[in-house]
Copies of this chain bind each other. A is one copy, B any other.
Amino acid sequence: MDNSLVRKLSSFGPLADDDRRLLLDLTSNPRSLRSHAHIRVEGEAPDTVRLISQGFACRYKYVETGERQIVGYLVAGDFCDLHVFVLKTMDHSIDTLSPSKVIDIPTKRVLEMIERPALARALWWSALVDEAILREWLVNVGQRNAAKRIAHLFCEIYMRLRRVGLADAPQFHLPLTQIELADSMGLSAVHVNRALQSLREDGLITFKSKRLEILDSERLREMSGFNPSYLHMQHGDQGAP
Contacts and interface: CB of A to CB of B under 8 A. Distances in A.
A209 interface: no
A73 to B, nearest CB: 13
B135 A234 contact: no
A64 B224 CA distance: 9
A86 B230 contact: no
A69 interface: yes
Given A92-B135, A142-B141, A128 B63 contact: no
Contacts of A69: 138-139, 142-143
Given A87-B125, A128-B87, A229-B91, A63 B144 contact: yes
20 contacts: A61-B136, A61-B139, A63-B143, A69-B138, A69-B139, A71-B138, A71-B139, A82-B128, A85-B121, A86-B121, A86-B124, A87-B125, A87-B128, A89-B229, A91-B135, A91-B229, A91-B232, A131-B134, A137-B138, A141-B186
Interface string A169-181: 0000000000000
A234 B141 CA distance: 31
A143 B232 contact: no
A74 B112 CA distance: 34
A135 to B, nearest CB: 5
Nearest to A89: B229
A61 B124 CA distance: 22
A25 to B, nearest CB: 24
In the assembly, how many copies of this chain are there? 2
Interface of A: 59, 61, 63-65, 67, 69, 71-72, 82-83, 85-89, 91-92, 121, 124-125, 127-128, 130-132, 134-139, 141-144, 185-186, 225, 229-230, 232, 234
A147 to B, nearest CB: 14
B88 A232 contact: yes
A58 to B, nearest CB: 12
A79 to B, nearest CB: 12
